[in-house]
Amino acid sequence: MELNEINQKLKETRDELLGILNALSGDELNKRKEPNSWTISQICQHLSKTEELYVMAIKKGLKCTEDSFIENKPQWELLINRSNKIEAPDIAKPDDEILEVKEIIEKLNKSREKLNEVLNRVEDPSLLRRRHFVHPVFKEMLLIEWVRSLYLHEQRHIKQIIEIKDGI
């Protein structure tokens, strides 16, 4: 999958998320499906934090001057299939802050701006296919797969948001 296609998927997925968020009330944003589960607001905080962490990982991977010769086999079924529970690392976990839709969208827009800044500065997009960085779940991953996994991760959480919204 080429960077242009991935960027389109990122945009489509984010547009879907924003459409859902804009239709929610403050109460819906901050209700829990279950006592120990995340609210929709917290899921969105997690998405923006994750995107910012990915930006840092991509930047670090781009600093490497040697080509990567890893066989890239990310386990996307782990990410896409919501029956596979993946524990977020502490650094990507949301806090209990109650946010309004506007604040959530602001956070999501800022994290996406940071991603776009990094990707737009890559003079040779093939570098994303030739450099890697270690992912906490998927291990060694080419940078292009880091970018791709962002929209897949967001799609996973959109499903979770819809489950919460429909259950409220």
**pLDDT, tens digit (0-9, with 9 covering 90-100), for 27-55:** 899 988 888 899 999 999 999 999 999 99
pLDDT for 21 equals: 96
**Is the CA virtual torsion 101, 15, 88, 46 positive or negative?**
negative
Phi, psi for 10 (deg, rounded to 5): -60, -45
Residue matched to tokens 């990567």: 68
Which pTM value belongs to this model?
A: 0.92
pLDDT for 15 equals: 98
CB 4 within 8 A of CB 146: no
Report the 3 state secondary structure along 4-24: HHHHHHHHHHHHHHHHHHHCC
Residue matched to tokens 């296609």: 5
Which residue range forms the structural domain that includes residue 31?
Answer: 1-166
pLDDT for 73 equals: 64
Instruction: Give ∠ CA 14-72-63 in degrees, rounded to 5.
Output: 75
Q: Which residue stretches of the chain have pLDDT < 50?
A: none
> How many domains does the chain divide into?
1
- Rounded to whole angstroms, the Cα distance separating 24 from 98 reads 14
Query: Residue 48's domain is classified under what CATH number?
Result: 1.20.120.450
pLDDT for 74 equals: 61
pLDDT for 84 equals: 79
- Rounded to whole angstroms, the Cα distance separating 166 from 115 reads 31
pLDDT for 168 equals: 61
